[in-house]
Amino acid sequence: MSKRFKVWVSRPLFADVLARLEQYVDIDAEAVERVHDAQELKQRLAAVDGAIIGLADRVDAATLVGNDRLRVISNLAVGYNNLDIEALTLAGVLACNTPEVLNETTADYAWALLLAAARRVGAAERWLRAGRWRGAMRFDDWLGVDLHGRTLGILGMGRIGQAVARRASGFDMRVLYHNRSRLPAPVESVCAARWVDKAELLRESDHLVLVLPYTSESHHIIGAAELALMKRGSVLVNIARGGLVDEAALAASLREGHLAAAGLDVYEDEPLVYPELLGLEQVVLSPHLGSASADTRRNMAELAVDNVLAGLGLGPKAGRPPA
Ligand code: DGY
């Protein structure tokens, strides 16, 4: 009998999905969620032919030194800023991600944050749960920012950005977007969105959503200067990557009342949240949940398994390029 490949799974996954993987390969699957330091990651990856890993697992050239066994890394995410693609390519390791399957769920979550931030849902709930709703409430208390009839700006107009845009028609919003390349006219028309340059996007948006990949070029793409360009009383939502925003500048803008609110699902130094943001009632914070619906997380896991198998020439997609 020929030797079976071995795959390390760095995060606990659905048992039935792991069982399917195990039909083809030997597996070493983590039973509890935890962070692996660089040394452990290096050792784990040197002992397997393939790996399914998460965003917290950072793979660079140093991780791969002396590793002549690893053939494929399957990232459990559409974003892959945790992977040094150049180093992986040089080492002959195939890198895969989970595109498409999370577009709609992540777009739904962008709207959850847009609405929660604009209408102060988090702070109001905390206030209510603290037993502070006693007697009559002032008519001019808890006033939020309308979404309907306002301008939604989208920075980064890939598939998730487009899904965010399509949902805006239900709110009668004007949709502007900025992307390095302009979308083809038929796609713009389906999204009912108009391309503008970045400065105009910042100046015109009442609600701005960040949906672009994090790279060295997009690092702190929203800093003090960009926040100053945004309208007083506007709302910022980040469902992409924390490093897109200079968090100190964002906290200052919120503290000074320039931005009315923010909805954040991602942070520059996850799992740490910039301390001042934790203390600002006008910020809705969530722990990187954009893709976290039951169906979508399952679809991501299935795709990650298909990808690692295909990279090893096995499974239902053997012979076809993985994602
Ligand atoms: C992704 O897929 O990149 C998300 O941020 C993780 O859920």
Same topology between domain 6-101+294-311 and domain 103-285: yes
Stretch 261-284: mean pLDDT: 97
Q: What residues does each domain of the chain span?
A: 6-101+294-311, 103-285
Chain center to CA of 208? 16
User: DSSP alpha helices (H): ranges in the chain?
Assistant: 15-22, 38-46, 61-64, 85-90, 103-118, 121-129, 159-167, 185-191, 198-204, 224-229, 247-255, 275-278, 294-311
- Tell the residue nearest (CA) to atom 4 of ligand 1: 77
- Residue 217's contacts (CB-CB under 8 Å, 6 or more residues apart) are none
- Closest atom, ligand 1, to C-alpha of 239: 5
Q: What is the pLDDT of residue 58?
A: 96
**pLDDT > 90 in the chain, percent:** 95
User: Known catalytic residue: 44?
Assistant: no
ipTM field? 0.94
pLDDT digits (tens, 9 = 90+) for 33-75: 999 999 999 999 999 999 999 999 999 999 999 999 999 999 9
Helix/strand/coil for 168: helix
Share the mean pLDDT of the chain: 96
- CATH 3.30.1280.10 for the 103-285 domain, yes or no: no
Residue 203 has phi, psi (to 5 degrees) of -70, -35
Stretch 171-190: mean pLDDT: 97
Tell me if 61 sits within 8 A of 87, measured CB to CB: yes
Tell me if 79 sits within 8 A of 214, measured CB to CB: yes
Query: What Å distances lie between residue 279 and 33, 116, 118, 251, CA to CA?
Result: 27, 17, 18, 10
Q: Which of 78, 159, 265 to mutate to test the pocket of ligand 1 (most atoms within 8 A of CB)?
A: 78
Distance, CA of 323 to CA of 147 (rounded, Å): 36
**pLDDT > 70 in the chain, percent:** 99
pTM for the full predicted model: 0.95
6-101+294-311 in CATH: which number?
3.40.50.720
Is residue 160 in contact with ligand 1, taking CB distance under 6 Å?
A: no
Is residue 243 in contact with ligand 1, taking CB distance under 6 Å?
A: no
Per the omega criterion (within 30 degrees of 0), is the bond before 271 cis? yes
Distance, CA of 242 to CA of 234 (rounded, Å): 19
